[in-house]
Amino acid sequence: MKQLNRAYGSLHAVHQISLDIPSNTIYGIIGKSGAGKSTLVRLISLLERPDSGEIYYDDARVDNLPKHDLIKQRRKIGMIFQNFNLFSSRNAAQNIAYPLEIAGVPKHEIDTRVEELLGLVGLSGRGNAPISTLSGGQMQRVAIARALANHPDILFCDEATSALDPQTTRSILGLLKDLQKNLNLSVVMITHQMEVVRDTCEYVAVLDNGSVVEEGAVIDVFTAPGSATTKEFLANLTPLTEPEEVRKDDMVRWSDEGGRFTLRFRGDLTGEPVLSRIQKKYDVEFNIRAGGVQRVSGEDVGTLICDIIGEPDEVDKAVSALHLSGILVEEEDL
Amino acid sequence: MNMLFTLVWSATAETLAMVFASTLFSLILGLPLGILLCITGPEAQGGIIPKPLLNNVLGRVVNILRSFPFIILMILLFPLSRIIVGTSIGTTATIVPLSIAAAPFVARIIETAIKEVDPGVIQAARAMGSTTMQIILKVLIPEAMPSLVSGITLTIINLIGYSAMAGAIGGGGLGDLAIRYGYQRFRPDVMLVSVIVILVLVEVVQVIGNKISARMMARR
């Protein structure tokens, strides 16, 4: 979809970022506050011009458009925001009509399109409602309808669910997923919530300090996080239970010698008795400290934190066997 | 008694005409100026086309005009009144200095009202591909409307006060009546009635303005 490469500002809010965002997917951009997410989205949504670098939509360069073309191009992208940014002087239907009005669409066409859009976001019949009477979730639905009014190919979501409660967040994310599929949209989600990426995105880029530290399919990034920032995000996400009781036998003593391992299983592996098979084959024992299963873009991912106890070379063999059976093993130095 | 009524009645009509016309002209001058002041200002305060130099110069001019004492400004503008309406005394002539005195005041009030518009909403409008003109007409003005109405109410009230002052130098209207009859001809009854009518006018304008503004807010 686009390929952008740029340094920006004396602050380097966004520093030499190159991303290739595939069309027709939901692409997540995650980062902590101050990581450069907002600047990045303002750049790729053409609200700001980069100091250097280039932005392409498909094959057309868009970062250096003259003013007139820039305005035209902006009408072909949709954008929703954390604070909804609806017009309080207009009711729901009039908000949705705004992008059509400014594009000079005839009045009767606007009316039909607005009805259609209200239905699309599940707000049929609420067109006359003043904005202040709507709930947060309804406001974001109006904002989504407004963003989609001009049939855009790209939808930017700037922290679109950050101001919503978890339940509403899920319903908005569900809506976005459906819309993406049905309308063949390319959705770019900027967020600081790993849950949002896990539940909706196919691809993700992790941003830190204005640079991309990791990028790839969500399932890969989740199962084999390569950067400290990603791991941090995942740690906050994975509600790993602490060991409730440590067995008071010889194992405790042994665990000082064994490394501390984090095993990540994906997909079908979740159901297989890999551990016991390995335990039989090699002279090792697993002391499981914590574990859990999560759904990441429709796939189950299991996480186990455990010690592997045994002679060092047996442990090494067991780890390679784990790798061979498709389990990702991270070893932490104690 | 009958003569008093006729005097006050015609003076009130003059005042209303002066206030109405000068409100209209000060809005025609002040509204674009206020919008320009806001949109050329810093981006964080709703400046959609930041132009620091122009903004600075405009701001200074507005401040100088606003700090001018009204009576002095009116005397200075006598020649201009003569050019525009052919005379420098009377109701029609007073409309010129009144409008010019109120215009910078209106500009500041409009600027303040528009600055209150949520920058996020302006950003959304820009992201949707609005032209600068579309943002002004379809976003800034409608969004700021309740504050604009309050500001215009304040302007009208100020102009009622100014128009009374203009009476001191041959302006016509209730102020003129109060000075010529009440003060110079020792008619305290005329003075009293003129003042009461002015108070009532101010009160009525304030109540109506508040009502309109509140109604707009209620519909949001």
Strand partners, B178: none
In this structure, are residues A238 and A294 in contact, taking their beta carbons and an 8 Å threshold? yes
Which pLDDT belongs to residue A255?
A: 45
Q: Which residue has the tokens 């530290």?
A: A213
Classify residue B139 by its DSSP letter. Answer: I
Fold of A2-219: Rossmann fold (3.40.50)
CATH number at residue B63: 1.10.3720.10
Closest approach of chain A CAs to the CA of B133, in angstroms?
A: 10
φ, ψ of residue A139 to 5 degrees: the values are: -60, -45
| Whether A89 contacts chain B with CB within 8 A | yes
**Which tokens hold the place of A266?**
């994906």
Closest approach of chain B CAs to the CA of A229, in angstroms?
A: 29
**Which tokens hold the place of A280?**
């039989």
Closest approach of chain A CAs to the CA of B129, in angstroms?
A: 5
Of A46, A86, A101, the CB nearest to B138: A101
Q: Residue A47: which residues within 8 A CB-CB, separation 6 or more?
A: B123, B126, B127
CATH topology agreement for domains A2-219 and A238-332: no
Mean pLDDT (whole number) for B186-201: 90
Residue A242's pLDDT band (boundaries 50, 70, 90)?
A: very low
Instruction: Using the predicted structure, report yes or no on whether residue A26 has a pLDDT greater than 80.
Output: yes
Ordered by start, the domain boundaries in chain A are 2-219, 238-332
List, for residues A264-278, the tens digit of each pLDDT value: 777 666 566 778 888
| Distance, CA of A215 to CA of A241 (rounded, Å) | 28
From the list B56, B47, B54, the residue with the least C-alpha distance to B117 is B47
List, for residues A3-25, the tens digit of each pLDDT value: 555 555 555 667 778 888 888 89
Name the residue with higher pLDDT: A60 or A203.
Answer: A203
> Is the Cβ pair B127, A74 closer than 8 Å?
yes
Mean pLDDT (whole number) for B189-212: 93
| Whether B44 contacts chain A with CB within 8 A | no
Residue A249's pLDDT band (boundaries 50, 70, 90)?
A: very low
**Best residue of A47, A48, A102, A159 to probe chain B, by most B CBs closer than 10 Å:** A102
| Distance, CA of B213 to CA of B204 (rounded, Å) | 14
Helices (H) and strands (E) in chain A, counts: 12, 14
| Distance, CA of A19 to CA of A27 (rounded, Å) | 11
Instruction: Using the predicted structure, report yes or no on whether residue B149 has a pLDDT greater than 60.
Output: yes
User: If you average pLDDT over every residue of chain B, what do you get?
Assistant: 90
Which pLDDT belongs to residue B210?
A: 94
> Is the Cβ pair A47, B118 closer than 8 Å?
no
Cα–Cα distances (Å) from B103 to A101, B167, B210, in that order, read: 32, 20, 22
Of B125, B126, B143, the CB nearest to A88: B143
Q: What is the pTM assigned to this prediction?
A: 0.78
**What are the helix (H) ranges across chain B?**
2-39, 52-67, 70-76, 78-85, 91-115, 119-127, 132-134, 141-166, 173-177, 188-218
List, for residues A146-191, the tens digit of each pLDDT value: 999 999 999 999 999 988 988 899 899 999 999 999 999 999 999 9
> Is the Cβ pair A74, B219 closer than 8 Å?
no
Q: Residue A206: which residues within 8 A CB-CB, separation 6 or more?
A: A30, A31, A212, A213, A214, A215, A221, A227, A229, A230, A233
| Whether B145 contacts chain A with CB within 8 A | yes
| Distance, CA of B168 to CA of B89 (rounded, Å) | 11
| Distance, CA of A300 to CA of B40 (rounded, Å) | 54
**Which tokens hold the place of A330?**
């991270």
Which pLDDT belongs to residue A64?
A: 84
Which pLDDT belongs to residue B153?
A: 96
- A-chain CB neighbours of B131 within 8 Å are 71, 102
- B-chain CB neighbours of A90 within 8 Å are 142
Please report, rounded to a whole number, the percentage of residues in chain A having pLDDT higher than 90. Answer: 35
Task: Report A:14-73 residues touching B (Cβ under 8 A).
Answer: 45-47, 71-73
> Is the Cβ pair B120, A47 closer than 8 Å?
no
φ, ψ of residue B94 to 5 degrees: the values are: -70, -25
Domain that holds residue B11: 2-218
Q: Which CATH number fits domain A238-332: 3.40.50.300, 3.30.70.260, 3.30.750.80, 3.40.190.10?
A: 3.30.70.260
Cα–Cα distances (Å) from A13 to A38, A51, A170, A206, B123, in that order, read: 9, 11, 30, 15, 19
| 3-state SS, residue A330 | strand
Count up the domains in chain B and report the number.
Answer: 1
| Whether B130 contacts chain A with CB within 8 A | yes
